[in-house]
Structure 1
Amino acid sequence: MILAEGHFGPQSSKTANACLRYIPNEVVAVLDSTQTGRTAQDILGLGGAIPVVGSFAEGMALAPTALLIGIAPAGGQFPEAWRAIVNQSLRAGLDVWSGLHTLLGDDAEFHALATKHGAVIRDLRRPPAMLDVGSGRVRELDATIVLTVGTDCNIGKMTTQLQVQQAVQARGPRVNFAATGQTGILVAGRGIAVDAVVADFIAGAAEALTMEAAHDAEIVLVEGQGSLLHPAYSGVTLGLMHGSLPHAMVLCAQPTRVSINRNAWVPIPPLTDVITLYERMMAPLRPSPVIAVALNTFDLDDEAAQQAIARAQEETGLPVTDPVRFDPSPIAEAIAAFHARRKLVVPS
């Protein structure tokens, strides 16, 4: 059961939405009393007939085994109004999964209830105990590393990689996804939430998970985080870039977003300027071109979305698509072709 009380929607329940898109068979209900009686399909176009229930009791009637905190708010703080529902879940013996910065396992009340009732609290953002600083070990890998970067946060960097993964693999190479955020970890079953790592070790964490993903893959699709343009989250972006040392990047953008979310004073530059910024930031460590653009057009009708894609193609000269709404093949083909070209030369 996913807890999204008062927040279930396209932009406000990122974690819930990813589960409904990629692992719907593991979801029995979404708890949001403001939208009771509807389904995930009604609200998001995802998840089929998974119901939205109005109370914890309604959800329990569907026999869940765990409660998932379904939001990823700015700052990642636990909504205290949800404490009673988490308490009920633990008393019922449900495991509690959370991707918040607030580590629920460190809460004395929650810990005591989990211990008493045999439940497990899984904090997806809890960093590993042993991390090192980045040292460029990724240069030793034969695998092609592709990182998604963005004009802003919450714009589709994880979704793009998950959408293109199968399409790239269908073209021959073995492909792994490296999860760097709490939602990606939930979907992939492994990874490190790099935004919860002490700053000195962000690059080291990115390096470690990239090398792990490359163990049995020819292409590693690294989930991007933040944006170099973001006044709050640029640090995690740069650490991830330097730790994963991508051979190529895919830029993610939302055509209707003209300024950084919740920071209207920071305008988003033209796509060509953003591409130049990312490429120049990578150049001293490893040349890394932006090879495709992924647009998030959820708030446009079909005609306007296609027009936005055409404009972005004309502006950048790169393959462009919305990999959720339309065929992800243009991005997948760009990645596969880049990998094939790279294998013809000495690995960098």
Structure 2
Amino acid sequence: MQKAGSPYLLFLGDTQDTLSIKGCTGVKIWRPEKAHAQIVLEGGNQDLGLPNKTPSEAAAAGCKTMLVGVANAGGFVPDNWVPTIIEALEAGMDVMAGMHTRMADIPAIAEAAAANGRTLFDVRQPSQEFKVGKGFERSGKRVLTVGTDCSLGKMFTSLALEREMLAQGMKATFRATGQSGIFIVGEGVAIDGVVADFIAGAVEWLCPENDADHWDVVEGQGSLFHPSFAGVSLGLLHGAQADALVMCHEPGRPHMRGVPGRDLPSLEDCIALNEQMAHLTNPTAKVVGVSVNTSSMPEDEAMAYLDDTAQRLGMPCCDSVRTGVSAIVNELAKI
């Protein structure tokens, strides 16, 4: 797969809130060596604490890619962003974005890229075709993050696992399946942009055969219990052919995200169903730990919840921020 070059110039645009720049924020947190500079347009108020540079200044300083790691309602490229994108291409940088609107479909941007021999990375739309999944046994080890709901920390947990595994001397590679993850590592497959029949095959392509002691850490999406996204979650389970699963959860949610009136499943039910579905392509797959997002809980309440859940389920229960994930990685090392 073609990989976006780094370091990056992080395009913050004219955004007004921190959630809108989460793609750029993820790079700053997880791959700070890639985050060289930022550019803010008139009207924008976000700041990641990086040097402010124009595209020409950033290119002269060695930046290879301008990352448009921002989101807006509708996922389109506003007209006032186009001149800056063109300026980056003319300065010699590639441009990476995850909008619903493809940069390659905007004539002025496409023409500038062609004229300057630069690459447009529209990460939300896969650039290659995939085969259907086969579920054939393949070498290497894989761990997949799964969840009781969507948007509760599967990417964060996956990156924390990779970091801890590398710190412990294990071979590990984070495999991105969403646009923010792709921004962070510069490659991957936005799995929600893959035609349903080919989701499992896309994941097999993303994490192919590897050394017997190498771990692919596959970023999960959605939840088997979420009526909107269960299809994607199931395809990921089958394609990952995971040896281990890590269950992600956020206590206190009143309902499934975006679906009022639908309760979250119990951890026990979610663990059982994910293991059952994973056994189609790996009969020995099992949940080895739980990653809990306790950010809304005070410290004492959070630690009590983690301890109680670990005892009830008989497996490590961590918060990737409060406690780290070393206890879960210790379980992976036994496989």
Interval of TM-score (by shorter of Structure 1 and Structure 2): 0.7 to 0.9
Greater Cα offset, 298-307 or 285-294: 298-307
State whether structure 2 residue 330 is matched by structure 1 residue 333: yes
Which of 26, 29, 32 lines up with 1:24 in the alignment? 32
Shift of 1:231: 2.0
Q: Deviations over 1:293-319 (max 9, x none)?
A: 111223333333323322332342220
Of 214, 219, 244, which residue of structure 2 is paired with 1:218? 214
Q: Which has the higher helix share?
A: 1
Asked whether 1:280 is paired with 2:276, we answer yes
The answer as to whether partners of 1:291 and 1:335 remain within 8 angstroms in 2 is yes
Given that 2:149 and 2:257 are in contact with CA atoms closer than 8 Å, whether structure 1 keeps it comes out as: yes
Shift of 1:89: 2.6
Q: Does 1:3 align with 2:1?
A: no
For the aligned residues, what is the CA RMSD? Answer: 2.8
Question: What's the CA shift string for 1:240-283, capped at 9, x where partnerless?
Answer: 11111112200111123232222223211221121122122223
Structure 1 match to 2:298? 301
Give the 3-state SS of the residue equivalent to 2:333 in structure 1: helix
Whether 2:62 is the aligned partner of 1:63: answer no
Asked whether the 8 Å contact 1:91–1:117 carries over to 2, the reply is no
Give 1:97 shift: 1.0
Q: Which residue of 2 aligns with 1:50?
A: 50
Q: Does 1:250 align with 2:259?
A: no
Q: In the superposition, relative to structure 1, how do residues 322 and 195 fare at CA in structure 2: closer, same or farther (>3 Å)?
A: same
Structure 2: segments with no counterpart, 5+ residues: 1-9
Q: Identity over the aligned pairs, expressed in percent?
A: 33
Change (3 A) 1:87 1:108: same
Aligned with 1:264: secondary structure? coil
Kept in 2, the 8 Å contact 1:168–1:175? The answer is yes
What is the TM-score of this pair, normalised by structure 2?
Answer: 0.83
- Which consecutive aligned stretches of 4+ in structure 1 deviate over 6 angstroms post-superposition? 32-35
How many matched pairs? 317
Residue 140 (structure 1) aligned to one of 112, 135, 138: 138
For structure 1, which runs of at least 5 residues remain unmatched after alignment? 41-48, 340-348
Between the aligned partners of 1:34 and 1:268, the Cα distance in structure 2 is: 39
Q: 1:169 corresponds to which residue?
A: 166
Which residue number corresponds to residue 235 of structure 1? 231
Secondary structure of the residue that 2:128 maps to in structure 1? coil
Corresponding letter in the other structure for 2:162: Q
Q: 1:274 to 1:216 in 2, by over 3 A?
A: closer
Q: Which amino acid aligns with 2:243?
A: H
The SS at the match of 2:260 is: strand
Alpha-carbon offset, residue 90 of structure 1: 1.1
Aligned to 1:108: 107
Whether the aligned pair in 2 keeps the contact of 1:31 and 1:59 (CA below 8 Å) is: no
- The 8 Å contact of residues 6 and 33 in structure 1, kept in 2 or not, is answered as no
Deviations 1:140-178 (Å, cap 9, x if unpaired)?
A: 32x222111012222211221211223223444322222
| Range moving further from structure 2, 152-161 or 61-70 | 61-70
Deviation at 1:292, TM superposition (A): 0.3
Q: C-alpha separation between the residues in 2 aligned to 1:291 and 1:117?
A: 49
Separation in 1, partners of 2:158, 2:196: 25
Whether 1:318 and 2:327 are equivalent positions in the alignment is no
Q: Distance in 2 between matches of 1:259 and 1:12?
A: 24
Inter-CA distance 101–307: structure 2 relative to 1 (3 Å threshold): farther
